[in-house]
């Protein structure tokens, strides 16, 4: 199994540009998440989804949008990029049952200049 | 809301020294508890977990016990190696609703030869 796949791995954006971080999982997991990790900090939840067609905000959703049209895919859209969005982004998924281990993607390093 | 507090780093130890990284949490209900490790430039790897009170998680010589009475999940290792140098994150997962992870801010461990 490929697990959780994120693309791109690295990206440099100019202020005001938009882009989409892709996330796909092949484990038929219901729950999917987007986190961001700022330098020297822990991960903060941006958005999450408990199934296809259902998304909700986490702790730091401003400046981002998500969609979940299929079980496999959970793209994160950055609109009007700002330097404060320079971060490492992690996508993750779990099946949904209590106690399940969460699976992380390898991360996407984004710099906004 | 849920929160995780870790001891601040960096923690600097000599090889073969005993390691303790403190972690306490605040949560409603009965969360699952996790330790993740992050090596430079990499994503997060699950180190160990515990899903109920008094459970002990262990892996690669690391151990942590879920202490409900003190709301703690301290990470320990009897003899650290240079290869253990990394950032360690304590996290909890709510067992209802979104099942997302809440992370501590991380503790950097530096092991010197």
The rounded mean pLDDT for chain B is 93
Residue in chain A nearest B1 by alpha carbon: A59
pLDDT for residue A98: 61
Q: What's A40's DSSP letter? A: T
Let me know how long chain B is.
Answer: 113
Interface test with B, best of A43, A59, A93, A97 (most B CBs within 10 A): A43
Q: Are β-strands B11-14 and B107-112 bridged in parallel, bridged antiparallel, or unpaired? A: parallel
Contacts of B58 (CB under 8 A, 6+ apart): B48, B64
Of the two residues A11 and B99, the one the predictor is more confident about is: A11
Give whole-number Cα distances, B2 to B30, B85, B102, in Å: 11, 28, 7
Of all residues in chain A, the percent with pLDDT exceeding 90 is: 83
Ordered DSSP codes for A50-109: EETTEEEE-S--TTEEE--SSSSB--EEE-S--GGG-EEEEEEEE-SSTTPPPEE---EE
**Is the pLDDT assigned to residue A101 strictly greater than 90?**
no
Rounded average pLDDT over B6-29: 94
pLDDT for residue A99: 59
**Is the pLDDT assigned to residue B27 strictly greater than 60?**
yes
Q: Are β-strands B101-103 and B44-50 bridged in parallel, bridged antiparallel, or unpaired? A: unpaired
Tokens, residue A5: 């796949």
The rounded mean pLDDT for chain A is 93
Determine contact, residues A83/A53, Cβ cutoff 8 Å: no
**Is the pLDDT assigned to residue B100 strictly greater than 90?**
no
Give the C-alpha separation, B54 to B89, whole Å: 20
Shortest Cα–Cα distance, B26 to chain A (Å): 16
Interface test with A, best of B8, B44, B95 (most A CBs within 10 A): B44
Q: Which of A41, A98, A106 sits opposite B43 (nearest CB)?
A: A106
Rounded average pLDDT over B42-68: 94
Least confidently predicted of A26-35, A94-103, B88-97: A94-103
**Is the pLDDT assigned to residue A42 strictly greater than 80?**
yes
Within 8 A of A106 by CB-CB distance, chain B residues are 42-43
* A54 and B CB contact within 8 Å: no
Hey, which residues 63-82 in chain A have their CB within 8 Å of chain B?
Answer: none
Residue in chain B nearest A91 by alpha carbon: B43
Shortest Cα–Cα distance, B18 to chain A (Å): 24
Tokens, residue B81: 């190696």
**Is the pLDDT assigned to residue A1 strictly greater than 60?**
no
Band the pLDDT of B60: cuts 50, 70, 90. Answer: very high
pLDDT tens-place string over residues B102-111: 999 999 999 9
pLDDT tens-place string over residues B62-85: 999 999 999 999 999 999 999 999
Inspect the interface and report whether the beta carbons of A56 and B98 lie closer than 8 Å: yes
Band the pLDDT of A20: cuts 50, 70, 90. Answer: very high
Give whole-number Cα distances, B26 to A39, A87, A99, B69, B101, in Å: 24, 26, 18, 12, 13
pLDDT for residue A102: 85
Give the C-alpha separation, B50 to B35, whole Å: 9
Q: Which of A33, A90, A106 sits opposite B100 (nearest CB)?
A: A33
Rounded average pLDDT over A16-36: 95
pLDDT for residue A22: 98
Contacts of B31 (CB under 8 A, 6+ apart): B2, B25, B92, B93, B94, B95
**Farthest CA pair distance, chain B:** 45
């Amino acid at each position: 199994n490929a697990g959780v796949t994120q693309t791109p791995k690295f990206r440099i954006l100019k202020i005001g540009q938009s882009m989409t971080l892709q996330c796909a999982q092949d484990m038929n997991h219901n729950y999917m998440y987007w986190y961001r990790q700022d330098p020297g900090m822990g991960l903060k939840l941006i958005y999450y989804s408990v199934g296809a067609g259902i998304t909700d905000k986490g702790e730091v959703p401003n400046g981002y949008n998500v969609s979940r049209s299929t079980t496999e895919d959970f793209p994160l859209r950055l609109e009007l990029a700002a330097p404060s969005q320079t971060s490492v982004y992690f996508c993750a998924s779990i099946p949904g049952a209590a106690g399940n281990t969460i699976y992380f993607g390898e991360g996407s390093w984004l710099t906004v200049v | 809301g849920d929160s995780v507090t870790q001891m601040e780093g960096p923690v600097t130890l000599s090889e073969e020294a005993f390691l303790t990284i403190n972690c306490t949490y605040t949560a409603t209900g009965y969360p699952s508890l996790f330790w993740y490790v992050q090596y430079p430039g990499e994503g997060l790897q699950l180190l160990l977990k515990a899903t109920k009170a008094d459970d002990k998680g262990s892996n690669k010589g690391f151990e942590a016990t879920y202490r409900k009475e003190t709301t703690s999940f301290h990470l320990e290792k009897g003899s650290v190696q240079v290869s253990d140098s990394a950032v360690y994150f304590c996290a909890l997962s709510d067992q209802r609703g979104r099942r997302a992870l809440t992370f501590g801010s991380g503790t950097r461990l530096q092991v010197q030869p």
